Structure 1
Amino acid sequence: MAEWIADFKYLPLETTDGSYMGQYRKVLFYKDRIYVFDIESNLVNIFDMHGKHIRTIGQKSDAPDGLVSLWGFLIDPFQDRVMLYDYFARKMVYYTLEGDFLFKRDMPFSSDQSAVALSPNCFILVGGSRLLNKQNGHLG
């Protein structure tokens, strides 16, 4: 193992009632934050680089920032914001890097694909197997 990894750091993440995680699906490091998507709770936990829990986003609710079903998330490095994808509601929910709600945007389709930001106003879907629109259940 030493021939492949020269150095590593172990960082325990703070566990609180609000930050308990069951199984992570995606971890992103951006600026001075760690973003962890937990597929059991369908939430994104935000930690600082010391492992201290800052906030949890993506709660299911009818509130303006509430979601039906969190499917994935990405970081928009062009506008420094977090984007959560609500699969069943077909919405992208935008937050600041600190987890403050900004706005929701309707999506004309639902997809099980991952997304990557390409420019300030463009992201691309990669991988996955489904891409469905609202009218006829498929694109193509």
Structure 2
Amino acid sequence: MNFLLDTVQTSNMNPVCKVKYLPLEVTDNSLIGSIDKILYQNKHFYILDKSANMGVLIFNENGKFIKSLYKLGEGPEEYIAPIDFDVDATGNIYIADNARQKIIRYNANDFEKYDEMELGCYFMEFAVIDEEHIIISEIYDQGRIKDKLAVYSRKDGKIQSLLKSTLKEIDEQKVPRGSSHYLYRSGDKVYFYQRFTPEIYILNGKTISLMANILSDKYFKEVELKTLEGNPQSFMTDMKHIKDINAFYETADGYFCSLSTFPLPQFLGISKTGNNIYNLNLIKEDRLLGNLIINGVAGNYLICTSDYNEETVNAALKINGLDENTAQMFANWNEDSNPLLILFQLQH
């Protein structure tokens, strides 16, 4: 699929048709310091917290706390620095420990049961594709990105390159990231965005396929990026270019895409019927409480999160049509509460 971004029209309809607010239960073991990544699998929310917990917290679809995985340490079943995580179809949790260049799989029913995969390389992200294959992204060698994507085979312990960087003269580590990650899981499907290109890939076992081109004249050219190496301020305040695609998720009705642009992000909807693409005006949607970073997808709902502050509560209580139970939930929200999940559906 090819889409011409620069000629996309803005939809006149309100893009958000349904919103749900989900408070996450607070217990002595479930306080969240930061939501660094969130996945919805097996009707549960899995949250990676790299600050307070250095582990994964699990909540059911109603926000009730189930349990947490915390294995910080230097033992054989432990990790030193959890850089990323994933969850497979049976609920097993995988945590990447970049300090030890390995991925640990913890059994869904008993976290004391585990197995380790020694990758022998540094990388930024990964996604479990099936029982045998794990896709890893941004593999580093001598301080530079060697491969954008590669596949690790659990069967033979080998890594095979799948995608090289299109940038030959640029050190990407010196160019700020406009997104916290570039692998996007929607249920059992995983997509990957190749930075500074229009390319969206879908990951299939030990192969990848080009799924879409979001075409535009606003991507940085390599010669332009060269002038921005080591100059984060100029990169972040640039108003002419697309810095990143920082979300690409699939729902039952279509696809959602978020572009990192300054001063405000741009949001796109792509319908599955006719492959129509259109701009979404989410900035004026007061039910999202000003949260414009899309963190994931849960079934047919997109996910964003909101930390507590008094100004947000006051804004929430002014939303038209707020039912009594939701209004009471916001009134009870306080500085000791966990972040709130905001789940919303789009009209396509």
Mapping of 1:94-109 within 5 angstroms? Answer: 94-98=105-109, 100-109=111-120
Corresponding residue to 1:22 among 20, 33, 38? 33
Matched, 1:72 2:84: yes
AA in 2 matched with 1:54: I
Q: Does the residue aligned with 1:100 lie in a helix, a strand or coil?
A: coil
AA in 2 matched with 1:88: A
Which whole-Å deviations, capped at 9, do the CAs of 1:10-48 have from their partners, x for residues lacking one? Answer: 110011221111111110000121100112132110111
Q: 1:87 to 1:58 in 2, by over 3 A?
A: farther
Deviation at 1:98, TM superposition (A): 4.7
Q: 1:117 to 1:106 in 2, by over 3 A?
A: closer
Which whole-Å deviations, capped at 9, do the CAs of 1:86-125 have from their partners, x for residues lacking one? Answer: 1112221112335623323142324342212222210112
Q: 1:22 to 1:131 in 2, by over 3 A?
A: same
Q: Determine the structure 2 residue equivalent to 1:125.
A: 136
Consecutive unaligned residues of structure 1, counting only runs of 5 or more, are none
Q: 1:92 to 1:83 in 2, by over 3 A?
A: same
| Structure index of larger Rg | 2
Q: 1:88 to 1:113 in 2, by over 3 A?
A: same
Q: 1:137 to 1:103 in 2, by over 3 A?
A: farther
Deviation at 1:56, TM superposition (A): 1.2
Q: Higher relative contact order by CA 8 Å / sep ≥ 6: 1 or 2?
A: 2
Q: 1:111 to 1:99 in 2, by over 3 A?
A: farther
Corresponding residue to 2:24 among 2, 10, 13? 13
AA in 2 matched with 1:8: V
Corresponding residue to 1:51 among 52, 63, 75? 63
Q: Does the residue aligned with 1:89 lie in a helix, a strand or coil?
A: coil
CA distance in structure 1 between the partners assigned to 2:23 and 2:37 by the alignment? 17
AA in 2 matched with 1:51: G
The 8 Å contact of residues 55 and 68 in structure 2, kept in 1 or not, is answered as yes
Q: TM-score, normalised by structure 1?
A: 0.79
Q: 1:61 to 1:86 in 2, by over 3 A?
A: same
Q: Determine the structure 1 residue equivalent to 2:99.
A: 88
CA distance in structure 1 between the partners assigned to 2:110 and 2:32 by the alignment? 17
Q: Does the residue aligned with 1:19 lie in a helix, a strand or coil?
A: coil
AA in 2 matched with 1:61: G
Deviation at 1:9, TM superposition (A): 1.1
Q: 1:80 to 1:14 in 2, by over 3 A?
A: closer
Q: Determine the structure 1 residue equivalent to 2:344.
A: none
Identity rate, percent: 21
AA in 2 matched with 1:102: K
- Which structure shows the higher helix fraction? 2
CA distance in structure 1 between the partners assigned to 2:30 and 2:110 by the alignment? 14
Q: Determine the structure 2 residue equivalent to 1:39.
A: 50
CA distance in structure 2 between the partners assigned to 1:58 and 1:85 by the alignment? 13
Q: CA RMSD in A?
A: 2.5
Matched, 1:3 2:14: yes
Q: 1:63 to 1:121 in 2, by over 3 A?
A: same
